[in-house]
Amino acid sequence: AAREQGVNLHRVDADTLSLACDETTDRARLAAVWAAFGVTADIEALDASTGDALPEALRRTSTYLTHPVFHAHRSETAMLRYLRSLSDKDYALDRGMIPLGSCTMKLNATTEMEPVTWPEFGSLHPFVPVSQAQGYLELIR
């Protein structure tokens, strides 16, 4: 019945089905899923009971994934290989020496930067009030 409605389901086990939804899932798709199970549901009532999770002003109105690269790689493996090839082009300090433009990395040894990873130092929220960031202000001055 699901296939007749154009709905692809994944059988997880004998008692469980899985269905993938994303931001493009619309009311027509939900109605098709319900119809696949022989259920008639009132989408308006569902909307009224759940409210809008995403305000209208923030909803996507433009197309997406239209760049040719998304059509050139037809499988997850092909896309991952493409992304890996891009990351391989990134020249980093762990792959060789960067002679210019890396003053900070050359002057500050890794051990000197270690305190930045401490929770007491690195977990300050960027919008914290100034009154709660006096130690940071002292470091900056």
Distance of CA 128 to the CA centre of its chain: 25
- Residue 5 or 72, more confident: 72
The C-alpha atoms of residue 33 and residue 74 are separated, in whole angstroms, by 26
Q: Write the pLDDT tens digit of every residue in 78-129.
A: 999 999 999 888 877 777 776 665 565 556 667 777 887 887 777 776 667 7
The structure tokens listed for 26 are: 């619309």
- Residue 101 or 2, more confident: 2
Q: What is the pLDDT of residue 7?
A: 80
Q: What is the pLDDT of residue 77?
A: 93
- Residue 139 or 85, more confident: 85
Q: What is the pLDDT of residue 85?
A: 93
Q: Write the pLDDT tens digit of every residue in 8-54.
A: 888 899 999 888 888 888 888 888 888 888 888 888 887 777 766 77
pTM of the model: 0.35
